[in-house]
Amino acid sequence: MGRRSAVLSAAAEVANAANAVRPLIRRGNGTLLAFAFGWPTSENAPLVITGSMLDALRRVIRGDHRTASGRISLLLKAVSWALLVLVHRRGVQSRPSFETPLRDALGADYREVARAGRPAGVWATSRIRRRYVQQTVKYGPHKANLADIWRRADLPRDGKAPVLLQVPGGAWMIGDRRPQGYPLMGQLAEQGWICVSIGYRVSPKYPWPDHIIDVKQALAWVKANIAEYGGDPESVCITGGSAGGHLAALAALTPNDPKWQPGFEDADTSVVAAVPIYGRYDWFSRTGNGRGQFVDALQRVIVKLPFAGNEQLYHDASPITLVHPEAPPFFVLHGTSDSLIPVDEGREFVAALQEVATAPVVYAEIPHAQHAFDIFGSPHGHYTADAVEKFLNWVLAQREMSRVSSGAGEASEHR
């Protein structure tokens, strides 16, 4: 029985590795399982290989390799290792997928305004919050309205540092400010940015649109208070993944919209750039893989109102319907192997945005990347942080050049 279980265990390792190479389930509710196993494996392949090898060594020392089933299990393990080496190698070699879209959209010299960081690794990334978070603040009236302020301890209080608001994902049902965005916020904080990582009200206890109201409340708080921490309220950007990507895109496209700012209608909630990552941008279409089930879930758990008779509510919550010429610069990222939100969602949103926006719209499609590919300190996580930093620094540099040019023009007129 034990020998048979060893073979089954090794076969499961092969299936898990194959699922990391390419999700084994592409449609239906099974995509949740494909993500649950494929995500941590694909982003932490070296750790998975190490654990499997230690188990193989234990079995060799015990003498399992002397039996036919033992040899089969070792062979299967070796197959899984080869697949995982392929997964890790693809991740390491994926940097051009992040950088080429930036170069194509922003110009060959976009790199000159940014400095590249170094991979922190999974363990270092998990501890990075301790280095940069000295204070947690309350940004709104609700219990969930807490925010961590990420900043270097030596950052001047009058430094006017650029600011990034990080909106967590979690299917609009989790919304915890930890531990998402750590590679990005750690890198930006080290380079002199201030990052504000927020929590917000979530379903099913709180129905839509409480989620976006809280994000708007956080933006209003940042604009009014971040100068006390050394930040520049005129240089606020926003990012988020999954549900956070949806909320970040929606907030960026609807600055100062009074229907989502009850009690603070006059507050400034505009941003200078948005970076939604593997987000949901369409809350109404039922055509496409998994979209019918998604709209059903929205009706039952998130919005708690039927689509029929409330169509406008669902359309107003869809960033793809709200694109407009004055949208701020966008950098959209999505993985081609995303099991939870198919990559078509990102493609369609970017196409709609590029059709009307006058500001740059950059789209990075990451080959073989699963959902939530940026959370760990993996190559994907590091490359995401590096690319986002370059994009945001480019946006801020362009704004500064425009300001200086405008100031020089005004001075010439007065002569």
Among all residues, which ones are annotated catalytic? 242, 338, 371
- Count of beta carbons in the 10 Å neighbourhood of residue 354: 16
The tokens for 82 are: 């080869």
Return d(Cα 73, Cα 71) in angstroms, integer: 5
Q: Is 330 left (phi over 0), alpha (psi -120 to 50) or beta?
A: beta
How remote is the C-alpha of 246 from its chain's centroid?
A: 10
The tokens for 37 are: 């196993």
SS (H, E, C) 162-186: EEEEEECCCCCCCCCCCCCCHHHHH
Reply yes or no: is the peptide bond before residue 325 cis, omega within 30 of 0.
Answer: no
The tally of CA atoms less than 13 A away on the side-chain side of residue 219 is 35
Q: How far is CA 7 from CA 50, 76, 126, in A?
A: 19, 8, 34
- Count of beta carbons in the 10 Å neighbourhood of residue 308: 7
Q: In 3D, which of 131, 135, 120, 357 has the Cα closest to residue 226?
A: 135
